[in-house]
Amino acid sequence: MKRLLYEVGESWKIAAAQMHSNMTRSALTALGVIIGIVAVTLMGTAIGGISTGFDKSMSIFGDDVLYVGQWPWKNVDDWWNYRDRKKIKTEYAEPLNRMIAATPDSNLVVAVPTSGLYRSVKYADNEVSNVLVRGTVSDYIITSTFDFMEGRFFNEVESRGGANVCVLGYDVADALFPSANPIDKSVLINGQPFNVIGVISRQGSFLGLFSLDSIVVMPLPAFQKYFSAKSDSDILVKVKDKTKLTEAKDELTGLMRRVRGLSPEQKDDFSINEQQALKSTLDPIKNSIAIAGLFITGLSLFVGAIGIMNITFVSVKERTKEIGTRKALGARRATILLQFLIESTALCLLGGFIGLSVAYLMCFGIGKAFPSFPIHFSFGLVLASMTVSVLTGLFSGFAPAWSASRLDPVTALRYE
Amino acid sequence: MGEEIVRALRGVSLQIQRNEYIAVMGPSGSGKSTLMNMLGCLDTPTSGRYQFNGRNVAEMNDDELAAIRNREIGFVFQTFNLLPRSNSLRNVELPLIYAGIDPETREERATQALVDVGLGDRLHHKPNELSGGQRQRVAVARALVTRPSIILADEPTGNLDSKTGEEIMALFEDLYYRGNTIILVTHERDIAAHARRTVHLRDGVIESDERGFVPRLESVAASYGRQ
């Protein structure tokens, strides 16, 4: 045991001396590992960032809101079963709310109808196209997670009366009113003037795919008056206690079946969706991206490991005579194996340490340049990449170290 | 500790006692190197026996052989075989590391061994800062430091000029008088003449085994003078 300790100590000294005397060679070899570790570490932080962004995007939907729609939020193979379903109508909200109010201890708070279409919005010479125009009621604010940057949401009176008022998303407000205050200005949607009463603060984008800020919200009656009634509609239902989501879902299913007038033997002709369902559909995609990313960057680390393996083979070859001498002086197979394993590991650790430092600086730089990108450089990542470095060293050093330990001392001593 | 009995090499039968000074001579291809490798436990005979301090070496595995080499045999090579980037002290300490000796004792014993070969003032010099003779002295110190049963020297003066070679031979003479067992492998008659017994090999067979050499007076006097 004690001998092992001394041998390990000796091996570290040899490794240090070896790196010191072959500075260029060691640096070039370590470079492969440095690049590998930088790639893997950055990919790790990027995946961490994507994951955080993903969860943030998900939270837009609210974990205490149920969405009644024609389609389920998951992949369906038999889509024709859903295609012929009746559309969800905004009128359902009224009977739903009546029934919720009539149920004692209901798990549901309120049902909110929404309808949406894509239209362009104009103010003076500025125009934004492809804006989601959404008609809803004043209770929409209860089911949503957004804050107001300026102004307010429309009240119940405006909501019921279908006043020509609207609330702008951040991007729309920013594009139409680059310098002016949009409140009380009149924007044109489909040629109709709407008075701006509020601006929603920035929401970001959903998974980086489409902006959640390119939106205009208006009272439902106004929406129905000026836009096609053929637009897609949803009913949002706020849940009282999010730990009882399943019960709430069952209750809402019962209510919807009554609204639709389904007999007990008929199947549901609507879908009740929730954030969780979307998440479980999208999580595998997120995970595949993570696995693919780590695999590809892992390849560069593998190339680095091959470099280390190669140089360790060269080192064993060059020092054949030294190995013979050491064996003559009493080094056992394990001693030689350990010595070369430690040499390759030391090289990988050095590469890992430098790589990690470079990755840290790059993360720091990216964080400064793009503050919105959620980058995560955690202690766990440091630990993981150091472990990976050591494993790379052991992996790449094993074959050469093994061949060194197996050398016949007579042959090794005679080697020139 | 008993005797060292050797039986090896195509019917070769050889017995070496403690505190013998023996030279193995022979032209190349005579089996001299093979014999040396056997004696040094670097190689094991394919058949036959090699009894070392009462143990049969032929039956040992690699790690047991390594342990025997570490404790019982001190090698001195023609090409010195020092680690080029380590200083004298570290070179001499190496077998003690493999023996599992603690750092303080290691340094103490290595220093003593270097002082014994007359290099007390060269402890921290690297091999490239030493002369050929000094390098071979470091190698001798390394061979001595584990207090082995045998010092096995393979052409120890082959890479040295004759004057330096004589110095090294004087060192061996000294070691012999201090009770060490020395086996010298050489093809030079002058060098072999230092030994007390000379074994001539030819074609893997012992041609002659002569004893009764009278040492040169001055080296005996030098050795006695030091004691």
- Is A41 within 8 Å of A248 (Cβ atoms)? no
B37, B69, B103: residue with CB nearest A330: B69
Asked if residue A142 lies in contact with residue A274, where contact means CB atoms within 8 angstroms, the answer is no
Q: Residue A5: what pLDDT?
A: 87
| CA–CA gap between residue A341 and residue A319 (Å, rounded) | 15
Cα-to-chain-centroid distance, residue A81: 32
- pLDDT value of residue A90: 84
CB contact under 8 Å between B40 and A325, yes or no, is no
Q: How far is A3 from chain B (nearest CA, A)?
A: 4
Cβ-defined contact of B97 to A327 (cutoff 8 Å): no
Q: Which of B63, B97, B102 sits opposite A10 (nearest CB)?
A: B97
B32, B35, B39, B42, best to mutate vs chain A, most A CBs in 10 Å: B42
Along chain A (416 residues), what's the average pLDDT of each consecutive run of 10 residues? 84 88 90 92 84 76 83 76 80 87 86 89 88 90 84 89 90 88 89 91 73 88 81 85 84 89 86 81 85 90 91 93 94 93 93 92 84 73 87 93 94 88
Confidence (pLDDT) at B12: 81
Of B37, B83, B86, nearest to A410 by CB-CB distance is B37
Compare CB distances from B95 to A321, A329, A410 and report the shortest one's residue. A329
Pairwise CB contact (< 8 Å): A328 & B142: no
Chain B hits for A21, Cβ within 8 Å: 85
Task: Give B-chain residues touching A321 at CB under 8 angstroms.
Answer: 81
Helices (H), B11-87: 32-39, 62-72
B interface with A, Cβ–Cβ below 8 Å: 37, 40, 42-43, 62-63, 66-67, 69-71, 75, 77, 81, 83, 85-86, 94-95, 97-103, 142, 146
- Residue A291 tokens, joined: 């696995």
| Nearest chain A alpha carbon to B37 | A410
pLDDT in the model for residue A50? 79
Average pLDDT across chain B, whole number: 86
Whether residue A148 contacts residue A134, with contact meaning beta carbons closer than 8 Å, is answered with no
Q: Do A6 and B103 touch (CB under 8 A)?
A: yes
Question: Which of chain A's residues have a Cβ under 8 Å away from the Cβ of B100?
Answer: 2-3, 6
**H helices, E strands: number in chain A:** 14, 12
Measured in angstroms, the CA of A414 and the nearest CA of chain B are apart by 10
Residues in chain B closer than 8 A to A330 (CB atoms): 66-67, 69-71, 95, 98-99, 146
Q: List residues of A whose CB lies inside 8 A of any B CB.
A: 2-3, 6-7, 10, 17, 21, 321-322, 324-335, 408-410, 413
Contact A332 B67 (CB under 8 A): yes
More confident residue, B130 or B47: B130
Residue B186 in tokens: 């050489």
Number of inter-chain CB pairs under 8 A, A vs B: 72
- Measure the CA–CA gap between A379 and A284, rounded to whole angstroms: 26
**Contact B97/A7, CB-based, under 8 Å?**
yes
Cα separation, A256 vs A241, in Å, equals 20
Residue A230: Cβ-neighbour burial (10 angstroms; 0-12, 13-18, 19+): exposed
* Single-letter code of the amino acid located at A95: P
Provide the 10 A C-beta neighbour count for residue A387. Answer: 11
* Helices (H), ranges, chain B: 32-39, 62-72, 88-98, 103-116, 132-144, 162-177, 189-192, 217-226
Residue B134 pLDDT > 90, yes or no?
A: yes
pLDDT for residue A229? 62
Residue contact A10–B103, C-beta within 8 A? no
**Cβ pair A330:B99 closer than 8 A:** yes
Residue-level pLDDT at A34: 93
pLDDT higher than threshold 90 for residue B216: no
Q: What is the mean predicted confidence (pLDDT) over B115-126? A: 93
A331 closest CB neighbour out of B85, B98, B101: B98
The residues, ordered by sequence, that sit 6+ positions from A316 with a Cβ below 8 Å of its Cβ are A323, A340, A400, A401, A403, A404
User: Residue B83: which of A2, A322, A324 has the nearest Cβ?
Assistant: A322
Residues 6 or more apart whose Cβ sits within 8 Å of residue A120: A127, A128, A129, A130, A131, A189
The answer to whether the Cβ–Cβ distance between B81 and A321 falls below 8 Å is: yes
Question: Does the structure show a pLDDT above 80 at B99?
Answer: yes
Q: Catalogue the long-range contacts made by B191-196 (C-beta closer than 8 Å, 24 or more residues apart).
A: B191/B23, B191/B156, B191/B157, B191/B165, B192/B23, B192/B25, B194/B21, B194/B23, B194/B169, B194/B219, B195/B21, B195/B22, B195/B23, B196/B20, B196/B21, B196/B22
* Pairwise CB contact (< 8 Å): A332 & B69: no
pLDDT digits (tens, 9 = 90+) for B5-57: 444 467 788 889 889 999 999 887 788 888 888 899 998 887 788 888 888 88
Q: Is the per-residue pLDDT at B76 higher than 90?
A: yes
Mean predicted confidence (pLDDT) in B148-167: 91
Write down the pLDDT at residue B213.
Answer: 54
Could you give the CA distance from residue A59 to residue A177 in angstroms, rounded to a whole number? 29
Residue A360, H or E segment: helix A333-369
Pick from A321, A322, A330: CB nearest B98: A330
Share of chain B above pLDDT 90, in %: 52
- Beta-carbon contacts of residue A197 (< 8 Å; ≥ 6 apart): A151, A152, A153, A154, A165, A166, A167, A183, A184
Q: Do B81 and A330 touch (CB under 8 A)?
A: no
Angle at the Cα of B173 (from B172 to B174), degrees rounded to 5?
Answer: 90
